[in-house]
Structure 1
Amino acid sequence: MMKSASALLAVLVAVGMMSSSASADISKGKKVYLKKCKSCHGNGVKGAKMKTQAEWNAAFENNAAQFKAWHKGTKAEEYVNGERFEKKMQDLKDFLYEYGSDSGKEPSCG
């Protein structure tokens, strides 16, 4: 009985850690969006709602090939093809996915 309780506690702690790290990524992605995307795409509510969650997933496949293609010829092209974007790409994806048009959620950001 004691081993079962210990195992359950370990699972709960692990799940709790995963959910807090996922939310940290979304929070970082929100910061990236506000800094790099807001000037062209509007606030986080408007920007994330531009696509569904499936469309955001597809946009970030193959090293964000589709996302980069959307920005070809824009003032964001240099950024999305750069090293800084590579480092923050997963956080931005997590934010956009979390608040995609079919998510039923809205970020609380300006």
Structure 2
Amino acid sequence: MQKSLSALLGAALLLGSFSTAANADVKRGQKAYLKKCKRCHGNGTKGAAMKTQKEWADAFADDAALFRSWHKDDKKAMKYIDSSRFKKDAPNLKDFLYEYGSDSGNVPSCG
């Protein structure tokens, strides 16, 4: 009984991690960053290092409320942030920025 419960919990955890990974992609986030953010924030290394991993996670919480507030005075940025394209990009963008946040120890390979 205990073995089957452990196996079931392990499978649920594994399946949960795959579904999260399937919803967001660091490489796609990097592409979105380079296309939409690089002009103002510099290359991906510089941009992602502007915040810690926790700050990036907080920025994208609550429908990216904090992220939106950082850009509220930039009409061009807000046009993108209010678009359906941003809704699609946001999970990937969050993963990219989180992966390479200032405290991550990671550096993007290009851009």
Do both proteins adopt the same fold according to a TM-score greater than 0.5, normalized to the shorter chain? yes
Tell me the alpha carbon deviations over residues 67-108 of structure 1, each in whole angstroms, 9 at most, x when there is no partner: 011111212111011111011100000000000000000001
Q: Where do 4+ consecutive residues of structure 1 move more than 3 Å?
A: none
Distance 2:82 2:67 in 1: 10
Superposition map of 1:85-96 within 5 A: 85-96=86-97
Q: Are 2:64 and 1:25 equivalent residues in the alignment?
A: no
The offset of 1:32, in angstroms, is 0.2
Q: Quote the RMSD (CA, aligned, Å).
A: 2.4
Output the TM-score relative to the length of structure 1.
0.79
Superposition map of 1:1-110 within 5 A: 18=18, 21=21, 25-74=25-74, 75-110=76-111
Tell me the matched-pair count: 100
- SS of residue matched to 1:76: helix
Output the TM-score relative to the length of structure 2.
0.79
Where does structure 1 lack aligned partners over 5 or more consecutive residues?
1-6
Distance 2:84 2:55 in 1: 24
Which residue identity lines up with residue 93 of structure 2 in the other structure? L
Tell me the alpha carbon deviations over residues 18-48 of structure 1, each in whole angstroms, 9 at most, x when there is no partner: 3xx46x7001000000000000000000000
Which residue identity lines up with residue 98 of structure 2 in the other structure? Y
Where does structure 2 lack aligned partners over 5 or more consecutive residues?
1-6
- Overall identity of the aligned pairs, in %: 60
Distance 1:93 1:83 in 2: 16
